[in-house]
Structure 1
Amino acid sequence: MAVSRSLSLLLLAVLGLAQLCRAKTVTYDFNVTWVTANPDGLAERKVVGINGQWPLPVIEVDKGDQLVVNMHNALDRSATIHFHGMFQNGTNGMDGAAMVTQCPVPPGSDFTYNFTVNQNGTYWYHCHTDFCYPDGYRQALIVHDAESPFVNDYDEEMTLTMSDWYHEMTEDISPQFLSVYNPTGAEPIPNAFLFNDTLNSSLPVKPNTTYLLRLINIGAFVAQYFYIEDHTFRIVEIDGVYTEPVEADTLYIAVAQRYSILVTTKNTTDKNYPIVTVADSVLLDTITPDLKLNQTNWLEYNADVDHPQAQMTVDVASDLVPFDDITLVPTDGMPLLPEPDLDIQVTVQMLNLDNGDGYAFLDNISFTSPKVPSLYTVFSVGDLATNQAVYGEFTHPMILEHNQVVQIVLNNNDTGSHPFHLHGHNFQLVDRQPPYGEHFYDYADGDPVPYDPNNHTAFPATPARRDTFVAPPQGYFVIRFVADNPGVWIFHCHIDWHLSQGLAMIMVEAPTKIQGANQEAVPQQHYDVCAAAGIPYQGNAAANTEDYLDLSGQNEQPGWLPAGFTSRGIVAMVFSCISAVLGMAFIVVYGLSDMKFKPTTNDSQATGSSAPAATESSSETAQAYRD
């Protein structure tokens, strides 16, 4: 047994050395600027381009490579890059989350991301500052692996992205979204849905050939269903985790989620087959008449024959039954983690605060960025790094000890679904109710159903793992992971509108260990960027460098509404106030204009006659306020 174990260790060492010898440095120079594009053919607009081009370049590396991205920000606003799904083990400062692991990079500044890619599979990169990536700053990141379990099972591969698309700039949409005039928090409705950043694409294929299709939802809001008419496929990867191959015909891909599938083409060239993506219309508060929810692209066997449209109706999504990702089994066979050392239970709520805007909450906290990036606070506060108070109340910090088994129970009190992403980790999918498929929206019309630790379905023995998981409407999910990656990691809904509303919290994982290798991995350039942006990089969440437990002046969420307020009441109050102001202005103008003439008896009576009307209006306002 000892000899066998020694041989195994020797083999692992040899394989590791071989991989190290193959590793190389892959460098990308990104000059980030505005360009113009018209991907749906309906509206030309500014988009974020790289080196004068859009769509953006796909980043491609091999497992074990060193990836270096030199970003120059030539935009007129701040930007960052988050490499979605990259663990950044030992390089937390390269994670790209603004005000969590770095300062946003201001216009005219440079920032270098430099880290080793010891992972495999399908990822993507995107801007991680406020309202940034919906303007086009997002694209695929592929990590090739010569030793994947299915590397010999396909002949060619393709990367396919899907996304929602807005004709207006995000800076123009966001003031209408986070506004007293939108108290319900209704998300902006996209103008189109893109496939590989365009419409009506044909993917040339050869007959009797197996293709690896990498599917990525790089959108900001809407999940999409995916299928290929008259074809099935085998799922072999989710979010960078290899899975035992399972046959399926329909997928539900929320924003930020990825799948790799194997598709074997038919032995014929007499027909082309629709590749169908269907927007999850349940997420949309309204559907404009010109919004096309169902898109047809083609698996093109023969360019010279018909390219038929998929035969669908706009409500077909309600009839689709997608594969349930929680049933997938990772090829590494990692068993269910033991009972947690730390159990974090949070509840999603969508509420209004006293400014009338709609906010998103985990429990009663709407994430509000600190004045100092939280990673830099870890570096600043010494022994107090294990005290969650130094990170501020409104970052909703959780301190994780090194190698703890952590369980997150997320109860969703909202009637919409939420795809949650955890930076720095993938996690086990332990439980979710209701399940995917025809029952996914079962709880949407009733009362929320929270997780009951004493009454739940049996947990899987070998759970699926991924880094983005969807919480059903008014349902819940349970996930587990090991806190084996020291760093400050944000846990957030990946619907970008919801993140802007505050649907996030941070995990400060093994803070004393962060102060070692991670601190050394942050170059001086990163602090220079903070100085250029005018953002402090020392102190607690309030930028206090004298008393780390004094949070006076920290950024805070707005105050709570008085008890009894409702969205309807807010709307009524706002418009009543506007009406009152306009009414007073009209009275003043009318009164001033009347002073040009000598009052007559009739004039006085006319002026006086307005009093009963004003009293009636006030009564209506009061009633609306109570409503």
Structure 2
Amino acid sequence: MMVNRRSAAHFGALLLALLFSIFSTAVVAAAIPNCRALSGDFPPRCARNTVDPLSGETCTDYGYDCLWQVTDRKLPSGERRIEINGEWPPSIVKVQVGQRIRIELVNMLTDPEDVTIHFHGLLMKNGYVLMDGPQHITQAGVGQGKSFIYDFPTTQAGTYWIHSHAPGQYPKGLRLPLIITDPQDAGNYGYPASSEGDLDKIITLSDYWTDFWVTESLYQKGTCGGVGLEVPPEEQTFNEVIASPTGADTRQKILVTPGSKYRLRFINLGAHSRYYVWISGNQDMEIIEIDGVMLKRNQFSKGFEISSGQRVSVLVSLPTGTVAQRIMVVSDRRINKGQTGPAECMLKPTSSYSPMQYTWGWLSDSAGTGSYAFNEPSQSEMAGYGRLVKTWENEAKVAPFYQYRPKMEFTDQNRVGVDISKPCGKNNADYCLCDDHNNCLFNPSYAWNFSEVAFQPWKDQQALLPTKWTWDYIHEITLNDDKGLGVMGLRGKGVPFIAPDTQEKGMPKMGVLPQIPTLLRGLLGTSWDTSFDNPNLYGYNASQVDQTVVLPKKNEIHWFAFRTVKGDHPIHMHGHEFQIIAKVPVRTDPTTGRVFTFAEYGHTYNSIPHNTYPSRRDTIMVEKGSTVIVAIQADNPGVWALHCHNDFHAKTGMFMQIVEDIGALRERIGRFSTRYPPSSSLNPFWGWDVKMFDVGAVGLTQAGAWKVLYQTLRKTFESYGYSTAALPIQCNTATEDGSFVDMNCEDRPDFP
């Protein structure tokens, strides 16, 4: 069982830690809990008022500058988890927009398991794709005893999170909120500026397993009915704590002053659970943010759903004279209902009188006035929710389920505004739940108005229409294949994603170039030509061509149409906030129930209705039997992961990549070559060498960008077994007279 207190223990001095010296004078470190700051590593810090090496803009202060020693721990209870600096849950990262973040990640895990981290929701513009973090895509994994520095400016305020992007790893515990505040938000939305970014107003929701290493093994073996069928969670958590049946853990209580307005930030850190959230008493919540996108005022809902990876901010208040109200969080049984087989594959309900898993917290009077029993939901309270589950179970059996969307209470297609003063009864069954004797309860889900398609962003953005109504600009992606495996791909050709840097056995080898991550494939070569627009360049082999979408030209507009007929999938796109153009049902043959292919749809995309100023976010749930259409503009050169945020599915290959305007990226951050045999005697050891081009050349690449790219190159080849001494990276360095000379990069006078 998860412990209900935060561990303060720190690991003893390990051999790896001796490689670093503590930067005790760092002002930032002193202000951040459990922060260990270092100096002197590479790439160097961006000093205030100097030029940013990638964006070319003026550098600002560091709001967060810390060493992360990533370790794992097994408790006497059997619980096993990944910790940061000996702490779990890890401390929240909070900065003000415009400040920089620097994290030195050190892998100190006991198992030979790679680590990377991703800053979920941050767009990483201006070449900072180098810091985006997905293993195999932008960088190699950070192996045992290795390190990697993430250093970048923040340009977006909002609610985000940091998590491992090594496959299957963040459910083990390497996850935490990232809050980027904007002083203007409090004034815009009418809540106290003093509460902006309050750490105790951040609510994380997550599924829980005692030992996810064991869970991962069960999943990979197909224990619960085959690969693609998840192992159900053991519990659900509220702020990383399992709710106590009696009383309340302090992390369950959101302390407020009755009558005052507060911003609550919800983050779904789960591996695959989707949640439905509301506050007892049918309190209206003003939805003000989804996935970092601020919304216009006065968009209210009685509740909301939040899928894996998504974030939602709401404005609420505890009514005057009220001691506490329950924040109710119910997990979607259509996702977490479990399979047949061993006990590990069966869903374990939270209580004996409900078939569901759920958790809860409290809006609680900070003054502590009055008495209140902070108990679990009663049987009568859960009974109404249980009826909803029966409805899901029964109506999910409608065949063919994709022909007519089943009427499920918690889907946004069915949320409508209702007059709650209207009496409940069978004649009003659309918003009441009634038994055979006409005993009815008001169904709060029908009073919800949480339609992510309809939300209006604070900043209007005209609907993006494809540059051309052709398949070069409309990318149709099928989620799952006919066997229900976790795959996705263009043109209905889903195969499991194979990491582009998957190595041959026995690497490294003399005279054999290793496979490299997608980003480095785009930077490899001395000159750019149209071959960089060929998706075959970026996949592990030819079978992976349908897992790569190439956006070759700057500012062109592309649509992505995601379709699923087997399972619900939260799809996350790195590098972009996409517009939500439409959700439409999947069409089927009315006689046989066979799902039509995209080519058989019988409609043209240019006839699909959409809002003038669509809603935007970075993660969206694509529900079974539906097609979700989103739009982006190719204005962020880079290589971006596109994947299901059900971490089980992502690990088994439900993963793609977007290669965007690679020519512009090469101009900004540089290029390199690998040569066999080597052109000089600088590296005779492996029979080939690496050279970076145009280093220090004015107007060819952003000045100083080579220092950031150098880290990625060096750490990549080190991860494959090539030592820096045996494989020195050369810099094709500009001289004062405009010519270039080759030298080891570490011999440059400006190398730290």
**1:27, distance to aligned residue in structure 2 (A):** 0.9
| Residue 219 (structure 1) aligns with | 270
Partner Cα distance (2:160, 2:275) in 1: 17
Partner Cα distance (1:21, 1:358) in 2: 46
| Residue 229 (structure 1) aligns with | 280
172-181 vs 502-511, which moves further? 172-181
- Could you tell me which of 539, 563, 572 is aligned with 1:421? 572
Q: Is the 8 A contact 1:35 1:53 kept in 2?
A: no
Partner Cα distance (2:649, 2:170) in 1: 14
- Could you tell me which of 174, 192, 202 is aligned with 2:235? 192
Partner Cα distance (2:229, 2:617) in 1: 28
Q: Is the 8 A contact 2:68 2:103 kept in 1?
A: yes
Partner Cα distance (1:266, 1:240) in 2: 28
| Residue 454 (structure 1) aligns with | 604
Q: Does 1:65 align with 2:128?
A: no
- Could you tell me which of 291, 294, 307 is aligned with 1:254? 307
| Residue 321 (structure 2) aligns with | 268
Q: Does 1:297 align with 2:355?
A: no
| Residue 139 (structure 1) aligns with | 176
| Residue 477 (structure 2) aligns with | 346
Q: Is the 8 A contact 1:199 1:297 kept in 2?
A: no
Q: 1:177-236: CA deviations, max 9, x gaps?
A: 233654363111111111100033122221111110001001011101111111211011
**1:426, distance to aligned residue in structure 2 (A):** 0.5
- Could you tell me which of 379, 387, 410 is aligned with 2:534? 387
Q: Is the 8 A contact 1:232 1:248 kept in 2?
A: yes
| Residue 488 (structure 2) aligns with | 361
Q: Percent identity?
A: 26
Q: Is the 8 A contact 2:233 2:347 kept in 1?
A: no
Q: RMSD over aligned Cα, in angstroms?
A: 2.7
Structure 2: state its 5+ residue gaps. 1-56, 244-251, 340-345, 351-356, 393-408, 411-444, 502-515, 671-704, 724-752
Aligned residues: 500
Q: Is the 8 A contact 2:560 2:631 kept in 1?
A: yes
- Opposite residue 228 of structure 1, the aligned amino acid is I
**1:24, distance to aligned residue in structure 2 (A):** 4.2
* SS at structure 1 position matched to 2:360: strand
* SS at structure 1 position matched to 2:714: helix
* SS at structure 1 position matched to 2:150: strand
251-260 vs 155-164, which moves further? 155-164
Q: Is the 8 A contact 2:222 2:228 kept in 1?
A: no
* SS at structure 2 position matched to 1:477: strand
Q: 1:514-556: CA deviations, max 9, x gaps?
A: 112234363433333223321789xxxxxxxxxxxxxxxxxxx
* SS at structure 2 position matched to 1:107: coil
Partner Cα distance (1:33, 1:489) in 2: 28
**1:289, distance to aligned residue in structure 2 (A):** 6.1
Partner Cα distance (2:641, 2:521) in 1: 15
Partner Cα distance (1:143, 1:294) in 2: 29
Structure 2 vs 1, CA of residues 452 and 431 (structure 1 numbering), >3 Å: closer, same or farther? farther
Partner Cα distance (1:78, 1:289) in 2: 31
Structure 1: state its 5+ residue gaps. 1-18, 436-442, 538-627
- Could you tell me which of 646, 651, 658 is aligned with 1:507? 658
| Residue 205 (structure 2) aligns with | 162
| Residue 309 (structure 1) aligns with | 376
- Opposite residue 339 of structure 1, the aligned amino acid is P
Per chain length, whose mean CA-contact separation is higher, i.e. which structure has more relative contact order (CA < 8 Å, sep 6+)? 1
Q: 1:418-477: CA deviations, max 9, x gaps?
A: 110100000000001359xxxxxxx9x965476664386521111000000111102110
Partner Cα distance (1:516, 1:312) in 2: 59
- Could you tell me which of 174, 178, 190 is aligned with 2:220? 178
| Residue 516 (structure 1) aligns with | 667
Q: Is the 8 A contact 1:234 1:262 kept in 2?
A: yes
TM-score with structure 1 setting the length: 0.75
| Residue 120 (structure 2) aligns with | 84
Q: Is the 8 A contact 2:221 2:227 kept in 1?
A: no
Q: Does 1:532 align with 2:570?
A: no
214-223 vs 312-321, which moves further? 312-321
**1:143, distance to aligned residue in structure 2 (A):** 0.5
Q: 1:30-73: CA deviations, max 9, x gaps?
A: 111113469xxxx5412111110000111111111111111111
| Residue 559 (structure 2) aligns with | 407
Q: Is the 8 A contact 1:70 1:110 kept in 2?
A: yes
| Residue 31 (structure 1) aligns with | 69
Partner Cα distance (2:361, 2:165) in 1: 30
Structure 2 vs 1, CA of residues 465 and 184 (structure 1 numbering), >3 Å: closer, same or farther? same
- Could you tell me which of 290, 302, 306 is aligned with 1:238? 290
Q: 1:144-194: CA deviations, max 9, x gaps?
A: 001237555112341100001111233x22333233654363111111111
**1:507, distance to aligned residue in structure 2 (A):** 0.7
Structure 2 vs 1, CA of residues 452 and 52 (structure 1 numbering), >3 Å: closer, same or farther? farther
| Residue 277 (structure 1) aligns with | 329
* SS at structure 1 position matched to 2:329: strand
Q: Is the 8 A contact 1:417 1:472 kept in 2?
A: yes
Paired residues for 1:477-626 under 5 Å = 477-519=628-670, 520=705, 522-534=708-720
| Residue 123 (structure 1) aligns with | 160
Partner Cα distance (2:523, 2:304) in 1: 43
Structure 2 vs 1, CA of residues 460 and 124 (structure 1 numbering), >3 Å: closer, same or farther? same
Partner Cα distance (1:152, 1:360) in 2: 41
Q: Is the 8 A contact 2:67 2:103 kept in 1?
A: yes
Partner Cα distance (2:636, 2:603) in 1: 27
- Opposite residue 349 of structure 2, the aligned amino acid is L
- Opposite residue 717 of structure 2, the aligned amino acid is A
Q: 1:221-261: CA deviations, max 9, x gaps?
A: 11011111112110111111111131111111000000111
Q: 1:61-112: CA deviations, max 9, x gaps?
A: 1111111111111113210000001111121110000000000000111110
Q: Is the 8 A contact 2:97 2:182 kept in 1?
A: yes
- Could you tell me which of 130, 143, 147 is aligned with 1:110? 147
Partner Cα distance (1:447, 1:276) in 2: 39
**Off by >6 Å, runs of 4+ in structure 1:** 19-22
- Opposite residue 233 of structure 1, the aligned amino acid is M
Partner Cα distance (2:216, 2:189) in 1: 47
Q: 1:554-600: CA deviations, max 9, x gaps?
A: xxxxxxxxxxxxxxxxxxxxxxxxxxxxxxxxxxxxxxxxxxxxxxx
**1:312, distance to aligned residue in structure 2 (A):** 1.4
47-56 vs 316-325, which moves further? 316-325
Partner Cα distance (1:273, 1:99) in 2: 45
Q: 1:276-331: CA deviations, max 9, x gaps?
A: 00001101242736332122321112473222433114634554435111110011
Structure 2 vs 1, CA of residues 515 and 134 (structure 1 numbering), >3 Å: closer, same or farther? same
Partner Cα distance (1:62, 1:36) in 2: 35
Structure 2 vs 1, CA of residues 145 and 286 (structure 1 numbering), >3 Å: closer, same or farther? same
197-206 vs 272-281, which moves further? 197-206
